[in-house]
Amino acid sequence: MSKAPTFEHAGRLWHDSLSKQLRRRTGKPLSENTRSIYGRSLNRLIEHIGAFRLPVTNRMLRDYIAAMRNAG
């Protein structure tokens, strides 16, 4: 049985797939700006929980939110 992927690995796969995805309502590709915003958000998450294996737990998210609050 293989190990679950890390949050970073799964997140990067997801982000790479965005260029192939279409918006639900319009059928147009996601804009470069939207993909960029998602990428920056993903990178911030990876700093804190990237090394953890999936699934992400509530405890990990609570710790991440606490770190965000402490950083202001």
> What is the per-residue pLDDT across 6-39, written as a single tens digit (0 to 9) for each?
999 999 999 998 877 767 677 778 888 988 999 9
Q: What are phi and psi of 41, to 5 degrees?
A: -65, -45
pLDDT at 48: 85
In this prediction, residue 36 carries a pLDDT of 93
Residue 37, Cβ density class (10 Å: 0-12 exposed, 13-18 middle, ≥19 buried):
exposed
* Residue 13 half-sphere exposure toward CB, CA atoms < 13 A: 6
pLDDT average, residue stretch 55-63: 88
Domain boundaries, the chain: 7-71
